[in-house]
Structures are given as structure tokens and as C-alpha cells.
Amino acid sequence: MKPLDSVRRAVPFDPSFVDRAPHFWPLRRAWCSLGPCHDFPPVAELARVFAGDPPVRFVAAAPPRRRAAPLDPRALYDARITLQRVVPTRERCWHDFMNALVWGTFPRAKRVLHARQHRAIVARIAPGARTLPPTRTRELDALALLDEGGVVILARDRTCLQAAIEGRAPETLVAAVHTGDAEALVFGHAIYESLALGVAPAVVAAVVVDRADVGASEADRIAHADAALAALLADEARLTTPAELKRVDLTSTSPRAWATDARPDESFRPMAS
């Protein structure tokens, strides 16, 4: 059994999980919309995470089973989201619960991401195939990294910050966050799961987008990040390889961590390609 699996089974639900790290702030509205919870909410109730009309429904995931017939592309996870607007979700699962909260917070980006993954997966399935190809493409690797470990950095000067990242100058990000010229919003639900479980995230993959003239409210900043990430994902010339994502120490994106004189352990560096 993998260590993270052991932790998942051992950590009970705790409604104070959002107070464990400052990076949870984007999820607070979605979390509070569920009302007082002293245990994992039932899957059927997770639609309340959305601020407006739910773009998808959460349905209980069926247990995995061996396939005896040819693979039906329409029954795959991303296909069900894209074609049926349903998200298969495991009951009492930290990982899937965080995914639901991210859906409620970044609905536009999530829909575009899964639609793109659906197209990329279906294009690789041979007629009559009983299994998926054994390896993913570089594009699918990049999309999976963003979905699980993505961080959106809103930058007042995206060009300057991107140049600093390419030059591997982590102090530039730290300074930009400290002065308010950059802000990081965690998108990847695996990062949130790790923070809730009290373990270090396995991967943090950052993309930089323009902050532009976004409003000062939290809702405005979240909506801007959602729209910017959705636009990035809709451009199929982008995010074709993990190298477009940059690994970053999560502590360098937190003003609260900066205030305690924390310093990143590693610089920005491209993800493996």
C-alpha cells in the first residue's frame, strides 16, 4: 500500500481542514456552501458547492471491474463529465471531496480541462480496444499535472515574472507575493488533499497569467483565475508538455509564510518532459 493511501485511510474527516494552511482560501466559499458538516457530505449533496446553476452533477462512482467487452470511450471518466455532465465521485474520499470543492471554485477551467482530456484520450483508442494505451502523451501528462497539482499565479507583470521563472530566480516570486504584485491560487485538488492530510504535496505545477485590472475582492480574483486558466486550456497549442509547467515551493507563494521568514527550498524549474 502506498504511504499516501495509508494516510487517507487513517485521517478522519475534520471540518477545520480549511484552517490548516493559508492556501485553502479559494475553497472557503464552496466549503461553507455545504453548511455545517461533521463528516464527509454525501455525494448527492455536493452540488451545493456551486455558486449558481451546477454545470455538472456528482454521482457515486461505481466500483472498478474488469472489462470483458471492448472499451466504450463514452463510459470513461472524462467522457462522462464532458458528454453527460456527471462527475463520478467516491464516498468518504478526501481526494474526491477536494475535487468537488475545486469544481465549485473553478468550474470553467475544470470543464475545459476535462473536455480537452476527453478529446485527447478518445483520439488514441483503437477500434475494439479493451484497454487504454499503457502510457500517456506529453499533453495528457501536462493536463494531469495541472489538474492534480496546478497553481495559478496572478501577476501584475506576467512577462517580467515569467522571465524570472525561466531564469530560475525564485526570489523574484517571493518578492512579488510579498509586495502584492503576484498572488497564487491553488487549483490542483491533490495539493488541497495533501494539505488537509498534513503531508507535503507530491507536485506543485505553476502557470503564470496576467492579473490585469481584476477587482480586489476574493470572488473577483477567483473568477479571473478561473477564466484565465480556462482560456489557456482552450488553446490546444499550449500545455502540450509538462515542461510548460514550473515546479515551485508552495511556501514561496504564501504571504503568511513569507512573514515568518520562510524561504523556498527549491527554485522554479520546468517539470519533467
Backbone angles phi, psi at 205, to 5 degrees: -110, 115
Q: How many CB atoms lie within 10 A of CB 211?
A: 21
The H or E element that residue 209 is part of is strand 205-210
If asked whether residues 147 and 107 sit together in one domain, one would say: no
If asked whether residues 265 and 248 sit together in one domain, one would say: yes
Contact of 177 with 262, CB cutoff 8 Å: no
Mean of per-residue pLDDT scores for the chain: 87
Write down which residue in 87, 116, 135 finishes a domain.
Answer: 135
If asked whether residues 254 and 209 sit together in one domain, one would say: yes
Q: Which domain holds residue 34?
A: 3-135
If asked whether residues 177 and 58 sit together in one domain, one would say: no
If asked whether residues 150 and 223 sit together in one domain, one would say: yes
Determine what percent of the chain is predicted with pLDDT higher than 70: 89
If asked whether residues 111 and 9 sit together in one domain, one would say: yes
Measured N-to-C along each axis, helices 107-122 and 218-234 cross at an angle, to the nearest 10 degrees, of 20
The pLDDT-based confidence of 233 (bands split at 50, 70, 90) is very high
If asked whether residues 74 and 7 sit together in one domain, one would say: yes
Helices (H), ranges, the chain: 3-10, 28-33, 77-79, 94-105, 107-122, 138-149, 158-166, 170-179, 189-197, 218-234, 255-259
Measured N-to-C along each axis, helices 107-122 and 138-149 cross at an angle, to the nearest 10 degrees, of 150
Write down which residue in 135, 152, 171 finishes a domain.
Answer: 135
Each residue of 32-86: pLDDT tens digit? 999 999 999 999 999 999 999 999 999 999 887 776 788 899 999 999 999 999 9
252, pLDDT greater than 90? no
pLDDT at 200: 84
151 - beta bridge partners?
A: 186, 206
If asked whether residues 83 and 22 sit together in one domain, one would say: yes
Q: How many CB atoms lie within 10 A of CB 149?
A: 24
If asked whether residues 117 and 159 sit together in one domain, one would say: no
The H or E element that residue 185 is part of is strand 182-186
86 - beta bridge partners?
A: 57
Backbone angles phi, psi at 184, to 5 degrees: -105, 135
Count of domains observed in the chain: 2
| pTM for this entry | 0.90
Structure-block grid coordinates of residue 122: 478518445
If asked whether residues 60 and 81 sit together in one domain, one would say: yes
DSSP 7-49: HHHH----TTGGGS-GGGGGGHHHHHHT-S-SSPPPGGGGGGG
Among 57, 13, 15, 60, which Cα is nearest to 35's?
15
Structure-block grid coordinates of residue 112: 475545459
Contact of 24 with 17, CB cutoff 8 Å: yes
Write down which residue in 108, 135, 162 finishes a domain.
Answer: 135
If asked whether residues 81 and 160 sit together in one domain, one would say: no
196, pLDDT greater than 70? yes
Which burial class, exposed, middle or buried, applies to 104 when counting CB atoms under 10 A from its CB (0-12, 13-18, 19+)? Answer: buried
Each residue of 90-139: pLDDT tens digit? 999 999 999 999 999 999 999 999 999 999 999 999 988 989 999 999 99
If asked whether residues 56 and 91 sit together in one domain, one would say: yes
